[in-house]
Structure 1
């Protein structure tokens, strides 16, 4: 399902339902760039500690924009012996909510943009119809501002734009408003010569009220904000206030936008699967949740790597999917839920985030099911929460090696070559 700003609100309940019923989720992201210095492969290396790799990526990659987020939910149907999938492709863009909202600056990497364009990526859907978002801090500030304005209105306090207590000269009154302002001033001055305690003024616009306040202030009157006499009864006024409150709440939720999907994923506690997903997770937290901490240690994610050594020779997503169709692995049986776009792996749509998330989920199922072949008797289906898979959750397998200082990286690779190719970042599992 393709989701943009145009159909986001109508699709949100469908997204929530898919997340809630899923056995596990697969994600993927597309970015405006990868690294503002050297490319990622040159920026990091296999000898970095997790903290070193995290720090490098945080420094050189977070000014780019994650503008397409792929989510594919997988739910196993026991009666059909297959997974029912629901793929989503979200286009996201940080459109400002109002003049006081954050105006996000981001950079693009020409090679990344050129590559995505060559894959048929539709940038118009991002920039014209991308779903807006706010992180938790931005959302809290916006809600606080809205609540403050609401309290000021309830207490009869005008906004600063209507008050000019420090005016030292006469207010400039446009010609078309002079008669109205003069009538008001005459009524106010006359108030001091009679016994009346109150004064009812004819209805006026916000701009006219501003002119009244400024003119009275210049003439030396001590004043409080004027209230127009309302002919609407209390019940009708309460109904309108409730409608206004609901509109404000809806506008706030619209501003939070895509972050609501991330909140739902986090709240669900479901297993989240990704391919080489460190950047995906870092961008997701940075854009939609909260600022990244200085160090990776203490974040709610760590990574574990399934290692099949000699069985898999290429860990790119396309090649990984092909190899996991062949023995000793088996392709999982899947069915696309009604109303969702059905992907065909024979016609690759790589680098569309929803498709990549779908392929990632297929790879995980194939690998998890392979673990079932070691059981007695063997099992063809292994749950995402099986005890066979669970020991690998949130683990980062690291070899600590000491070696002579004159050794080079190539010497280390040669030393471990006899044990097969270790597939770091083959499939990463994240439990939010």
Structure 2
């Protein structure tokens, strides 16, 4: 694993680009500052794909990505082996010029990160910036605006820039024309701030941020003094620095390598919102565009959940959580459940995770997702193959076997178990809702009370329809059956299967309307007939 910070990003980027260009597939994972912004955004068994998207869309706009891991897997030809090069990026949103990102934090999420040794100093002080396309346009317009003068609102920046300016002024007092000075670049201060502020203060020098650690200044002859405005090369360097991790995202899109995640719907939505464009209002637009960006998406949570019934006799799929699957598949049984299972190793210089478990560090979680994909792909590809004719398989053969799972993204606690980014979502296989009605006026229904009563039988969610009526969504058919049986003779509650045409207020209203219209037509016919008879 390589830890990537703002101070080291430019130096490592060419290595990352080379790895992406030559790899077989990329696994990803993200960590963020909040899981749910309010009670209304909680996951529910009532949710279909569109409802879940809207809930998460509103939440994702309010929080930010604190860390992203990419683990780049490359097949080693003729060795039945994959090598993983893993990068763990600390990210921090831009706060410069016209772009000043605001985000919220959830205390439980921050506590969770603390429990897993997340370094908040690296996050804030050395986190890599990023922009989506909307923010990039805004920032580019500001760079092109000849009237724009940057004034930092950050006390730390002002203090550091004042110290840097003082040092340059003292040097200029004795410097000769063409003399140069190399100074340490203030940590956390952007190239944009350095270029614009020093250009305004010292028009008689040229300024160049040679790398991420030093600033080089040269005293110019009177005739060579330059404009206070930025030239195109300076603008490009500044913009590249502000784009930061967005440049990695664009490399991933450009090279169109298979993208692997585990239970990754939120990861994908964060990636879309923060590095591409604001999430669209329409769920269908999101799916279509995501499919265009990453046409080869696989969610190992969905794959493992789908395979679990076929491998009941093993214990590999008892728990399809990321860590549990990784431990199962890296065990002796998991590695040799089928013949010629490929080995997976860390590339040279990427060995931090070799003998250390660092669960919930984004890079480590990305590596685990990629490792699980290799095991699942080989397991699927070898189904039905006799041991007498079995041979090691190539990545191409693994990928062909996994094609049925492309574009299927797991959804937890919803009316469907996955969404499809390639077309319509699957039909729900959950049981029908239950309708709960109070038998007594003095017994109003309360969601928490009902959840407490019904959750003893399995996963449930309650949606109140009024003081005396509620809908209940259940996790499985056994849970529904047990609740109906247990409350069959309840003193205060009537529990029945929900029938849309019978119980829906809209359906009932339509039925009454139809009945009234039918009655009116009948009355008119009777009246017409009697009038003719007379």
Q: Shared topology, TM-score over 0.5? A: yes
Retained in 2: the 8 A contact 1:69–1:92? yes
Change (3 A) 1:242 1:14: farther
Runs of 4+ in 1 over 4 A off after TM superposition: 240-244, 329-332
* Structure with more strand by fraction: 2
Please report the TM-score for the alignment, with normalisation by the length of structure 2: 0.57
Aligned with residue 137 of structure 2, among 127, 137, 140: 140
The answer as to 2:345 corresponding to 1:335 is yes
User: Aligned partners of 1:90, 1:413: CA distance in 2, in Å?
Assistant: 43
User: Aligned partners of 1:111, 1:332: CA distance in 2, in Å?
Assistant: 39
Aligned with residue 478 of structure 2, among 414, 420, 426: 414
Q: Tell me what 1:110 maps to.
A: 107
Aligned with residue 234 of structure 2, among 233, 239, 247: 247
Aligned with residue 369 of structure 2, among 349, 360, 365: 360
- How far off its partner does 1:47 sit? 4.6
Aligned with residue 383 of structure 1, among 391, 395, 416: 395
Retained in 1: the 8 A contact 2:142–2:148? no
User: Aligned partners of 2:137, 2:383: CA distance in 1, in Å?
Assistant: 51
The answer as to 2:23 corresponding to 1:22 is yes
Q: Cα RMSD over matched residues?
A: 3.2
User: Aligned partners of 1:30, 1:22: CA distance in 2, in Å?
Assistant: 24
Retained in 2: the 8 A contact 1:372–1:380? no
Retained in 1: the 8 A contact 2:64–2:93? no
Retained in 2: the 8 A contact 1:93–1:130? yes
User: Aligned partners of 1:350, 1:282: CA distance in 2, in Å?
Assistant: 22
- How far off its partner does 1:408 sit? 4.5
Deviations 1:371-402 (A, max 9, x none): 12225443543526632112321143623458
Q: Tell me what 1:192 maps to.
A: none
Q: Tell me what 2:328 maps to.
A: 323
User: Aligned partners of 2:474, 2:26: CA distance in 1, in Å?
Assistant: 38
Please report the TM-score for the alignment, with normalisation by the length of structure 1: 0.70
Q: Tell me what 1:301 maps to.
A: 290
User: Aligned partners of 2:17, 2:475: CA distance in 1, in Å?
Assistant: 51
- How far off its partner does 1:341 sit? 3.3
Retained in 2: the 8 A contact 1:373–1:379? no
User: Aligned partners of 1:93, 1:66: CA distance in 2, in Å?
Assistant: 8
Task: Figure out how many residues of one structure are paired with residues of the other and give that number.
Answer: 336
Retained in 2: the 8 A contact 1:72–1:87? yes
Q: Tell me what 2:466 maps to.
A: none
Change (3 A) 1:242 1:63: closer
User: Aligned partners of 2:392, 2:473: CA distance in 1, in Å?
Assistant: 41
Aligned with residue 393 of structure 1, among 396, 401, 406: 406
- How far off its partner does 1:296 sit? 2.3
Please, which runs of 5 or more residues in structure 1 have no aligned partner?
150-158, 162-204, 210-229, 418-432
Aligned with residue 349 of structure 1, among 341, 353, 358: 358
| Paired residue secondary structure (1:374) | coil
1:132-171 correspondence to structure 2 within 5 Å: 132-149=129-146, 159=147
